[in-house]
Chains A and B, each alone.
Chain A
């Protein structure tokens, strides 16, 4: 219980600090701008069905620069300024530290997604007949799961370097390679490898959500991988103590 409180204290600080620095507001503006542009271009089309599916289907690519931008300062900035020494010497395990950081970034992601809700309102107002709410809810769930997965990868990158730039680029490159390998790369890979890549394909799973289908296997995929990356980040923090 005490560990949970410590993790929550770290999460609240991370969440609040993202609103105290320009990068947090830039990320919010960038994401809202990307969604707004996509919304006008592909959703507000006269005669087209009222759905946010184009946004959810491309969520992975939209999130590619966003999640690393949120996560890049989680640990890297503390390593750079030396404030990590204060956190690391407090009576909290490395897993609690990693979890707190991850939760803080996750809360910011949720705030970012809340900022896109006016677009849903616009769609509901201008559409006749009313759009189906189910796929929208499933879509938002998918973006949330995708976002936290990407944040966990970003958190891991952030534990590896004191440079925010390297953390950002490292996470973005890793995610880009992941997306590319499991989409375009899959068709050119040998059969065995292609099967593994298919299992790791994020975009395939997002398509199901975009159609309004919530597959527990897909949900588990995101949760398990997210947990794995957060755990890996905590292991990296522990390794820092021994290096």
Chain B
């Protein structure tokens, strides 16, 4: 679990972060989004202990970064942007070195290096110099160094940066595998990647928090609405079904729209305290089947992350930063 509260950081006159707060729950992959200069890298660097905030605090796995920096750093596996590393070293010797920095030695170090090589599929290049590897392999080496000490928290800054589509797919599945039982924070510019990889997102703009939450919830626009698309045999059966849908207990509204080929598209708003989404889906499905309709779609309406992101960027960050003292960390 990562908790970030009221972070503030300035570089000269530039306010990189102005009261940013969010949480990264365990067992999930959380995406950190934002345009250039939004404060993503600064946030990540504060979480990993590379730099310190001017105000605010970070807690990782219950340990406060400002008070127990070593414990926090030990619990984090970090992949910086562009996976910078020592090009003159072989993959194996680099991993050994990184394992030593984590305090591993002897058999534990050997086992950790072997495990990381296996997990990141680096066996074929273990003796090659890192500087001679392709971008994709370098990125894998970076991931391998991040997971060497089996950290409960992974922080990955632009893990798909510069990779080709097949490498992106490999990296995505690797991150999903690594996420099992871990807290993972991924920063990326590639929104479709975040959409496919992450369970939650944190969106920053101009050093402020724009949005935070479950990705599906955010993409659903925070509204409780189902979208149903069905082809009806006759207009009469459609009208009957529409009335029946409006009469379902918990349904607040049904906004119908005619589409080509006799297909109707309904947006069904509901009160989740009266009827849950699965219950409504079941009831509505039964109702449409009874009306003899061919159901083409029955699910929560989703907008793309790109659409949401652009909308939030257009709106801009909240005008007032959260101003809270750092003392509440204790």
Residues of A that sit less than 8 Å from B by CB: 2, 5-6, 9-10, 13, 17, 20-21, 81-83, 85-93, 240-243
Contact = CB atoms under 8 A, between A and B. Distances in A.
B309 interface: no
Given A2-B103, A9-B101, A83-B86, 13 more contacts: A13-B97, A17-B86, A81-B84, A82-B81, A83-B84, A85-B45, A87-B101, A89-B48, A90-B101, A91-B102, A93-B70, A241-B50, A242-B52
Nearest to B146: A86
A4 B74 CA distance: 17
Given A86-B145, A89-B48, A5 B100 contact: yes
B259 to A, nearest CB: 52
Contact of B73 (A89, A240, A242): A89
Contact of A241 (B52, B84, B88): B52
Interface string B15-58: 00000000000000000000000000000010011111000000
A5 B105 contact: yes
B100 A9 contact: yes
Interface string B101-122: 1110100000000000000000
A162 to B, nearest CB: 12
> Counting chain A CB atoms within 10 Å of each CB, which of B86, B89, B102 scores highest?
B86
B85 interface: yes
A60 B235 CA distance: 99
Contacts, number: 69
B101 A10 contact: yes
Contact of B84 (A2, A5, A17, A86): A86
B78 A89 contact: yes
B72 to A, nearest CB: 9
B152 interface: no
Given A21-B88, A241-B51, A86 B98 contact: yes
Interface residues of B, number: 28
B85 A86 contact: yes
A92 B101 contact: yes
Contacts of A83: 84-86
Contacts of B81: 82
A21 B131 CA distance: 13
A88 B76 CA distance: 12
A88 B50 contact: yes
Contact of B76 (A17, A21, A89, A93): A89
Closest 5 interchain pairs by CB? A82-B84, A9-B100, A90-B101, A20-B88, A91-B74
Contacts of A5: 100, 103, 105
Interface in B55-83: 70-71, 73-74, 76, 78, 80-82
A82 B82 contact: yes
Nearest to B142: A86
Contacts of A9: 97, 100-101
B50 A90 contact: no
A17 B101 contact: no
A60 to B, nearest CB: 31
B50 A85 contact: yes
A86 B80 contact: yes
> Counting chain B CB atoms within 10 Å of each CB, which of A6, A13, A243 scores highest?
A13
Contacts of A20: 88-89
Given A6-B100, A6-B101, A89 B49 contact: yes
